[in-house]
Amino acid sequence: MDRSRVASSGVIIVLILVAGLIGGALITSYFFMKQVNDLQSQISNLSSQVSHISGNQTVYNQTITVYQNETSLTEIYKKVKGSVVLIQGETSNGTVQGSGFVYNMTGAMFVVTNNHVVQGTTSLSVTFSDGHGYEATVNGTDPYSDIAIVTVVGASQEEFQPISIVSSATLNVGDPVIAIGAPFGLVGTMTSGVVSALGRSITESSLAGGFPITDIIQTSAPINPGNSGGPLLNFDGKVVGITAAIVENSQGLGFAVPSNTILREIGALVATGTYSGHPYLGVEGSDMDYFQALQMQTNTTYGWLVGKIFSGGPAANAGVQVNDIVVGINGTAMINGDQMSSYLDEYTLPGETVVINLVRHDQPLNLQLVLAARPPPPA
């Protein structure tokens, strides 16, 4: 009896041990599988993050390629080189040379260039990128903006590859730009740079009578003699200006007449040969600054200081006085003379009435002034 109970107890103990081993194995297996699943989930999340980062990196590299890749510049050059021409002329003092570009105005083909390229020429020629040269005549000029429109005589329609002109108002400092022309006679030369500044003014005393050429684009794209009249292009290959001048010993500082000036004037230049829309104040002056303000004992350190008033001119008729400081026009602040000249050329016309915002003896003053047209440029 005792032996039977002992045997039975042994069996029960063995069964309990076996059940414990199986249960422990199941529990251990459960926790192991859970850890494996958690690890796989972490690996999947990490893979997704890596894929997302890789995708963003790909987009970034593509953006850099579009704007800085040499191939892109090559494609732009191929697209527009046929639109850029060489202009050569003879004057009483010798020969002149510059650049230009073809523009389609309502079906009629013209070449746009600088006034100073064609000024005083007795004969003129235009040579296309294929080497074919033709006689040319001056259709219209504006020395005050340094723009000229040229007509090519005898060229077939196939020679003309017009290029689009877009608004220069879209430009920002830092935007990349391209200049194409014939510096030193090297036809088809391309340079690139950025917009260095906007709204500059330059003065061409002999041709523009000392009046400023306004709203000029300053660029770091290298510009040399012979580039004058060529197009300044954005990275879509569209004209945003005409390369106009360089400053001597300026380490590559260049200027361009903005495309908005071309678009504003080209209709009149083609139709009448001239543009008479430049407003005139009848004053001379200089920019204000901190030291000038100290000398005058005024708190106004910006604006444009009136230094001379021409008798019978718009400013004299409006009651403007010497030492008045122009700080605004029509409520728009004028920081300096460049901004004032650019504003007048872009937003006003002769015959219009404007409100000149002045500071006189440290007191604000508003005067109504009727703008006149500039006198004719020097012959």
Q: Which value, to the nearest 10 degrees, does the dihedral of the CA atoms of residues 333, 365, 212, 248 take?
A: -70
- Residue 84, φ and ψ in degrees, nearest 5: -95, 135
Beta-strand pair 304-309/108-113: unpaired
Asked if residue 180 lies in contact with residue 190, where contact means CB atoms within 8 angstroms, the answer is yes
- Residue 186, φ and ψ in degrees, nearest 5: -85, 90
User: How far is it, in rounded angstroms, from Cα 241 to Cα 202?
Assistant: 15
Give the length of the chain: 379
Which residues are designated catalytic?
116, 146, 228
Closest C-alpha among 197, 317, 285, 216 to residue 257: 216
